Amino acid sequence: MDDGEGRMLPAAVCRLFDDGGGGRTLSVDLPPGTLVWPDPTYARFPARRRPAFWLSETPATGTLWARLRAEHPRSGLWPVLLEESVQPWSVGQIAPDAAAEIDNYNIGAFMDEVWADWIQRAHEDQVETLDPFGPVCPGPADPGELKTDPDALADRYAAMLAEQGMPIGLAAVQRGADALAVMGWQGALHHNEWNVPLAAVVRSWEDRFAARLVGMGFNTLELSVAAPPQTPAHAVHVAAEHWAFCPDAIIQSAGTLIDYAEQILGKYTWSFWWD
């Protein structure tokens, strides 16, 4: 039961923290779960002495996600709904990185690099995909205007996703975006499977678009977005960021930035998948 009073973190969960979890509290009773350690053949740092995250043994409810999200400031634990729980999560097919590594990445430089690399390899007719920007990367878009409460929106989206029957993971992070790196997600298949620069992008979306990381799968990400673009011009600029982050979402779906921009205009959720 939740008694509304902060209690010390469970001993197992404390192992997620460098400092042993001292001073952190959680008034929510966790369901049965286990710590997930990276398989040494996947981990970039085989000598890592901490588990990457905690994973529930059974599907979680949206209510549990919301309660854990609300306690994040006190617990230091960010909840993430996880698709495909057997692979990669419970078998440790993950490559955790320290959240501090994210500070080393500039999202404008990341966009420029992805953009220039693709332009160098693309056929002339493929460049039309990136209209109205063409071969010149526009850089990050301006922030959006807050339209709803970010946390309440994330709770509602979690409730929708939880209907699919997903377990929940808990990551020891100061902000939700950092879970991508700390949990060792490698889902950006054939694009940028190192999670740290992608976590930097999601951090920036937290700041500029009031985004919240709600769920992830083997090659998917689910974000709630409380400050989405409200004009076609802003939407197409945001679409350019999405393209650098996840080209497959545009190239294998909408086809062009302009068409994709119509799909995200005023939309309160962003879904990404890599093939």
Q: Give the tens place of pLDDT for each residue, 174-215.
A: 999 999 999 999 888 777 767 899 999 999 999 999 999 999
pLDDT digits (tens, 9 = 90+) for 211-256: 999 999 989 999 999 999 999 999 999 999 999 999 888 887 778 9
User: What is the pLDDT confidence band of residue 1, given thresholds at 50, 70 and 90?
Assistant: very low
3-state helix, strand, coil in the chain (%, to 5): 40, 15, 45
Q: What is the pLDDT of residue 190?
A: 74
Q: Express as a percent the part of the chain with pLDDT over 70.
A: 94
Contacts of 220 (CB under 8 A, 6+ apart): 83, 187, 271, 272, 273, 274
Residues 76/182, Cβ–Cβ less than 8 Å:
no
Decide: residue 250, CB within 10 A, 0-12 exposed, 13-18 middle, 19+ buried: buried
Task: Tell me the C-alpha to C-alpha distance, in Å, between residue 159 and each of 50, 150, 199, 202, 262.
Answer: 30, 14, 23, 21, 26
DSSP reduced 3-state for 211 = strand
Residues 81/168, Cβ–Cβ less than 8 Å:
yes
User: What is the pLDDT confidence band of residue 168, given thresholds at 50, 70 and 90?
Assistant: very high
pLDDT digits (tens, 9 = 90+) for 93-105: 888 999 999 999 9
Residue type at position 124: E
- Residues 47-52 have a mean pLDDT of 75
Q: What is the token pair recorded at 212?
A: 């919240």
Question: Residue for token digits 């950006």?
Answer: 188
Q: Express as a percent the part of the chain with pLDDT over 90.
A: 74
Q: In sequence order, what are the beta bridge partners of 168?
A: 81
The mean predicted confidence, pLDDT, of the chain is 91
Q: What is the token pair recorded at 82?
A: 């996880």
pLDDT digits (tens, 9 = 90+) for 78-130: 999 999 766 788 888 888 999 999 999 999 999 999 999 988 887 777 888 89
